[in-house]
Each structure stands twice: as structure tokens, then as C-alpha cells.
């Protein structure tokens, strides 16, 4: 009798799990294409050290932190959420001391296996943010757009730590 009850409970549990509709089965393929970004990246320059750290927060988002440190002073700090909403990816940085510390959303406009471009034409600067994977241990992050009415672009090569 005891084994019959356990068998029935096991069957019921398997039936419940197999019939359950779970949002975790939702496809986040666009975000997964950027999984190569997860990890810690660094660029040591004479002006200081730039680090960018990416972690997978959940199925639909990665969390990034960027620091630029000169000697012992933090010159730049930003937090980034890279999220997939529906079929669209969004790169949403919050930069300390800019935009009233409010997040700014950039929408994915172009992607290949090794390169992703996000844009927000209404933002003052940058209007475009791109990441390009050179190989497993090297990437280049580029910000660009118009600054004071003139085209501007800055690239940041980084190596995996």
C-alpha cells in the first residue's frame, strides 16, 4: 500500500511538472548570443585602469559594471543592464553623475555573431554603443555619435582577466 501511494504521488508530480507552463522555457536567444561578454575585462592605460565586469543575472538579463580608476580614485562608474524584452535587446546604462543618475535605454540595431550595436539617437552622447569580439580573450567597446555637433568616437580595447 505504501509503495502504491508513493508511486501515485510520483506519477502525479511528474504529470504536474510536465503540464506546467513555465516562463523559464521562454527563448532568450538574442541575449544568449552575447554570452561571450560574461566575465571580467580590463584595459590598463597610462591614464588609469578600465574594467568591465559582466555576470548573467537571469535568463533574460546580464548585469555589467564599468569602472575607470586612476591611482586610487574612481573617475567613472556605471552599471549596465543588458536585457531581452520580447525579441529585442536593450543596453541600459546608469552613469554616476550623468542624466540625473537615471538609466538611459539603447536598443539593439545591428548584430552579428561577434558584434553588437545599440543606439539611442535622442541621447546627447553617445548615441551608439558597440561591442566587437576580436577573439575569446579580446574585445573592443566603442561609443560614438555627435558631440557638440561634431562626429566623435572613442574605442576601448579590453582583454579578459
Instruction: Note the pLDDT tens digit of each residue in 40-64.
Output: 999 999 999 999 999 999 999 999 9
Interatomic CA distance for residues 68 and 85, integer angstroms: 29
Residue 148 in domain = yes
pLDDT (0 to 100) of residue 27: 77
Residue 2 in domain = no
Pair 70, 48: CB distance under 8 Å: yes
Q: Which residues of the chain fall short of a pLDDT of 50?
A: 1-25
108 lies in which domain range?
Answer: 26-160
pLDDT (0 to 100) of residue 19: 39
pLDDT (0 to 100) of residue 64: 98
Total domains present in the chain: 1
pTM above 0.75, yes or no: yes
Residue 101 in domain = yes
pLDDT (0 to 100) of residue 30: 87
Q: Which residues, at least 6 apart from 130, have a Cβ–Cβ distance to it below 8 Å?
A: 115, 116, 117, 118, 141, 142, 143, 144
Residue 89 in domain = yes
What CATH number has the domain bearing residue 60? 2.40.128.20
pLDDT (0 to 100) of residue 26: 62
Residue 9 in domain = no
Residue 58 in domain = yes
Amino acid at each position: 500500500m505504501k509503495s502504491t501511494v508513493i508511486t501515485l504521488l510520483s506519477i502525479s508530480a511528474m504529470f504536474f511538472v510536465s503540464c506546467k507552463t513555465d516562463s523559464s522555457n521562454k527563448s532568450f536567444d538574442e541575449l544568449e548570443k552575447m554570452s561571450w561578454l560574461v566575465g571580467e575585462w580590463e584595459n590598463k592605460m597610462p591614464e588609469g585602469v578600465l574594467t568591465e565586469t559582466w555576470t548573467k543575472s537571469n535568463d533574460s538579463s546580464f548585469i555589467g559594471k564599468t569602472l575607470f580608476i586612476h591611482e586610487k580614485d574612481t573617475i567613472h562608474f556605471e552599471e549596465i543592464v543588458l536585457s531581452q524584452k520580447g525579441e529585442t535587446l536593450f543596453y541600459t546604462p546608469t552613469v554616476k553623475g550623468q542624466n540625473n543618475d537615471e538609466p538611459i535605454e539603447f536598443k539593439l540595431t545591428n548584430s552579428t555573431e561577434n558584434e553588437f550595436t545599440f543606439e539611442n539617437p535622442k541621447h546627447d552622447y553617445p548615441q551608439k554603443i558597440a561591442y566587437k569580439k576580436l577573439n575569446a580573450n579580446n574585445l573592443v567597446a566603442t561609443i560614438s555619435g555627435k558631440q557638440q555637433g561634431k562626429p566623435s568616437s572613442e574605442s576601448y580595447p579590453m582583454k579578459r582577466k
